Chains A and B, each alone.
Chain A
Amino acid sequence: MVYTEAYLKEKLTKDLDAVHVEVTDDSDGCGAKFSVLIVSDKFQGKPLLARHRLVNTVLQEELKSIHAFTQKTLTVEQWNAQKS
């Protein structure tokens, strides 16, 4: 199964109530290497490990065939602070 940026973006946005998601395919098209930035208030009050576990759970099936996966998980507050 080959996944696309658009597919992952939609799934993460929906399942995590994310206000902003950036997905980058780093694989030159083989679909096995992605980095994502997810902004969601579902991360509020959760340490980094718990946030990443949450994302891993959402993409449990997908991660079986995605070989390399980099994630950044921010709350809306952290995202705004980073922008300014």
Chain B
Amino acid sequence: MNNLLRRSIFPIYANSLKLSCRSFADVPIKEKIDNIVKNNKVVVFMKGVPDAPRCGFSNAVVQIMRMHAVTYDSHDVLSDEDLRQGIKDYSNWPTIPQVFINGEFVGGCDIMLQMHQSGELIEELKKVGIKSALLTAEESKKEEVK
């Protein structure tokens, strides 16, 4: 009797388990991204790696970061298909690269470039306690003039 019961219940149980697994299938990538962007002040999702970007837009972001001497965490979407789609869904932004500061999506290449040109990037970095190398350079120039 017990055996019979178990046998008849088990398929239902197994089925519902499978279902719940499927509906949670996209949770891990979202959680993973959540952790990535919250654990680092500056995060760049890009094509390739900083030493070898594999797209001109990603390269532009790397160059901007280099100019400001920002240390950042970078993730190559070309080596992780889940991440490539997952990051677009996460930030509701259709393109790569994507830059996060303090867990907040800041923008892609165009926005970074314009923030760099307007000086806004220096301010945003300052807010999270990062001093841009461009600011340091500017200050030492002023020192010299004095």
* Same complex origin of A and B: yes
Within 8 Å CB of A69, what residues of B? 95
State whether A49 and B110 are in contact (beta carbons under 8 Å apart), knowing that A63-B94, A68-B57 are contacts in the complex.
Answer: no
Instruction: Enumerate chain B residues within 8 angstroms of A64, measured Cβ to Cβ.
Output: 94
Question: Is A70 a contact partner of B107 (Cβ separation < 8 A)?
Answer: no
Partner of A72, one of B56, B105, B110: B110
Cβ of A56 under 8 Å from chain B = yes
Within 8 A of B (CB), among A61-84: 63-64, 68-72
Q: How many residues of A contact B (CB 8 A)?
A: 13
Residue of B nearest to A60 (CB): B94
A48 within 8 A of B: yes
Known contacts A48-B115, A68-B57, A56 near B93 by CB under 8 Å? yes
Complex contact B57–A49 (CB within 8 A): no
CB–CB A56/B94 < 8 A: yes
Cross-interface CB contact of B111 among A49, A60, A63, A68, cutoff 8 Å:
A49
| Interface assignment of B114: CB less than 8 Å from any CB of chain A | yes
What chain A residues lie within 8 Å of B93 (beta carbons)? 53, 56
Q: With an 8 A cutoff between CB atoms, is A20 at the interface?
A: no
Whether A42 is near chain B, meaning CB under 8 Å from some CB there, is no
Cα of A52 to Cα of B49 in the assembled complex, Å: 26
Residues of B61-110 at the interface with A, using a CB-CB cut-off of 8 Å, are 92-95, 105-110
Distance in angstroms between the alpha carbons of A48 and B115 in the assembled complex: 9
Contact A70 B110 (CB under 8 A): yes
Interface residues in chain A, defined as those with a beta carbon under 8 Å from any beta carbon in chain B: 48-49, 52-53, 56, 60, 63-64, 68-72
Beyond contacts A48-B107, A63-B95: 18 other A-B pairs, Cβ-Cβ < 8 A, are A48-B111, A48-B114, A49-B105, A49-B111, A52-B108, A52-B110, A53-B93, A56-B93, A60-B94, A63-B94, A64-B94, A68-B57, A69-B95, A70-B109, A70-B110, A71-B110, A72-B110, A72-B114
Binding site for A on B (CB under 8 A): 56-57, 92-95, 105-111, 114-115
